[in-house]
Amino acid sequence: MTDTETSKTAVVTGAGSGIGRAVAVELLRAGWSVALAGRRAEPLEETAALVPGAASLTVRTDVARPEDVAALFAATAARFGRVDLLFNNAGTFGPGGVPVEDLSYEAWRHVVDTNLNGAFLCAQAAYRQMKEQDPQGGRIINNGSISAHTPRPHSAPYTATKHALTGLTKALSLDGRPYRIAVGQIDIGNAATEMTARMETGALQADGRTVPEPVMDVADVARTVRHMAELPLEANVQFATVLATAMPYVGRG
């Protein structure tokens, strides 16, 4: 099967590690063609190598740079002919444990540029491609967070961007209806990745304690994204929450 004959094509941002890598691998193993985007080329190549022979494309991309995002989608369309899925995953926590009064504007801006502006730029590029291609349409899945509902202490930039991402998801979902563009969001809590390793040793709680938290296998997140991705465009998971069962999220922990 050639690249252009592959049934579905996905763009996965932040594909060099963590949730992005797990989702990219899940899709590649399922027969998708996948454009792997991230700021560093080497981790992207490592992700691609996890599924030898699969139809993958690596594109070094800073999602906060409009020219990088445009180049990513142009390269994907040139290689695979269309874009059926964007997993809008690239993001950063920003500086951990910094009280809001001590947070620099530069740190705030970096998180906003990556988590919100980057998500918008990628969604906009995907939307344009999906609207123009034949057959028309596709799906965008935004990676939200448990923080899109409930913040952790000292997380103002991250939490603000994830709340904003929920609004972006709703607006894009509405605007995409006439063009068969389905938009949903997955909110993830305590998936075991490099970024969440501290959860198992101790995370700051709302009452000031630092206690270990349970985590879940990131593969369970990847399978959920694949399920959302493979629905027909007439069906959409608007919001999904996938979390470690016993993490302190609902109730009082």
Catalytic positions, please? 158
Per DSSP, the three-state class of 161 is helix
Query: Which element (helix H / strand E) includes 187?
Result: strand 181-189
Q: Is the Cα dihedral 78, 28, 200, 216 positive or negative?
A: positive
Bridge pairing between strands 85-88 and 138-143: parallel
Beta partners for 187?
A: 241
96, 154 contact by CB (below 8 A): yes
Q: What are phi and psi of 229, to 5 degrees?
A: -70, -35
Q: CB-hemisphere CA count at 13 Å for 198?
A: 8
Instruction: Give the strands of the sheet with 239-243, arranged side by side.
Output: 56-60, 33-38, 9-13, 85-88, 138-143, 181-189, 239-243
